[in-house]
Amino acid sequence: MPTATSAIRFRVGADENGLGPRLGPMIVTAVLAKVHGDGWSVASSAPRGALAQRLGDSKQFMAYGDVGLGEAWARALVERGAGRTRDASSPDALIHALSLDDHETLQAPCPEHVTSQCWSSCEEAFETESGLTQALHEDLDRLAAQGIEFVAVRSIILCTRRLNDGAMAGKNRFLLDLHAMERLVLELRDLAGAEVAAVCGKVGGFGKYSSVFGPLGGRLHSVVEETRARSAYHFPELGEIAFVRDGDASDLCVALASMVGKYLREVLMGRIVRHYQGQLEGLSGASGYHDPVTAAFVDATRLVRDARNVPDACFERRSAEPPKAARRRS
């Protein structure tokens, strides 16, 4: 067990889920770990041993219709007090325990008659048995014994309307992803009350980030390195923030953020599907990605959406050209 005299540092891992789909939200998630002494090397490496069978790149562990492992991680973290609340009694409670923004903020862009498309929790239920969540509690206990305690997890939910509003303002999904990561790092640094070392998944094709920072824009910082694999920057009183290629496969904290974010993305996309299935008998589900099933879902719901005056901006993402900085390779 870590001792009271062990050096304590704070580590943040952040990643996005749903950057490229046609429908549904993009989720950006970050976790904050309080790390004692030698636990740092474990926290900054890929999961090992038995843990590697339950934690890693979310794309390897979960898929459309099968996100139970991400659900179990989210429930375990919230039950241990890492969310804004400890309420993990339902998927809806879990969403709002994880979201950095409250109900009112999340629904602010929604026309009143469209709110149920994305925010109705009707017929929503957990998928996993409590035994899996308990197994993950035991994993977290073992990590705590090695000096790694996850003290916070937060997600930013960027719904289709927010993504489209960003595109209209000249901010494509890469910039919105980056700025959400910055916002999360600032929030978790405040929770830590000390400098943090933040590792984020690489954003799009950015190699140099200084000119495209949002919440961190204008802050004094130095460039640590800028390569294809890793771009890192040091900010006085904030700490270091690094953008790392394939971070979810190489960093335990980023992997955990990816697992939670993947679950949130699928739950929220599931709400959209159920909303229209309740109005169109026999309507097939859809992942929201660019595939024939999603294309059929878009076509099948068109008349219903038109009849109910659902704005296209609240349903399907628009595209926007990335800024030159996002297209350059360092």
Residue 329 pLDDT > 50: no
Closest by CA position to 63, among listed 222, 233, 263:
263
What is the share, in percent, of the chain residues with pLDDT greater than 90? 84
Separation of alpha carbons 330 and 207, rounded Å: 5
DSSP-assigned letters across all residues of 187-233: HHHHHHTS-EEEEEE--TT-S--GGG-STTTT---EEEEE-SSEEEE
Q: Provide the pairing of β-strand 196-201 with 8-17.
A: parallel
Average pLDDT over residues 31-46: 95
Look at 204 and 287; give whichever has higher pLDDT.
Answer: 287
| Phi, psi angles (nearest 5°) of residue 311 | -60, 140
Residue 328 falls inside a structural domain:
no
Residue 314 lies in a domain: no
Query: Residue 224 maps to which CATH number?
Result: 3.30.420.10
Identify whether 312 is part of a domain.
no
In a domain, 217, yes or no: yes
pLDDT mean over 160-174: 95
Domain annotation covers residue 307: no
Residue 281 resides in a domain: no
The crossing angle, in degrees rounded to 10, of helices 160-168 and 173-192 is: 110
pLDDT digits (tens, 9 = 90+) for 219-237: 999 999 999 999 999 999 9
Q: Is residue 156 a contact partner of residue 39, using CB atoms and an 8 Å limit?
A: no
The chain-wide mean pLDDT, for the chain, equals 92
Of 262, 246, 242, which is closest to residue 59 (Cα–Cα)?
262
pLDDT at 252 over 50: yes
Is position 280 within any domain? no
User: How many domains does one find in the chain?
Assistant: 1
Q: Would you say residue 287 has pLDDT above 60?
A: yes
Bridge partners (DSSP) of residue 15 are 29
Pick from 250, 245, 225, 222: nearest CA to 234: 222
Mean pLDDT across the stretch 51-56? 88
Please say if the pLDDT value at position 161 is more than 70. Answer: yes
pLDDT for position 64: 75
162 in a domain, yes or no? yes
Residue 21 pLDDT greater than 80, yes or no: yes
Amino acid identity at 64: Y
Q: What is the pLDDT of residue 60?
A: 78
Q: How high is the pLDDT of residue 128?
A: 87
Domain that holds residue 78: 8-271
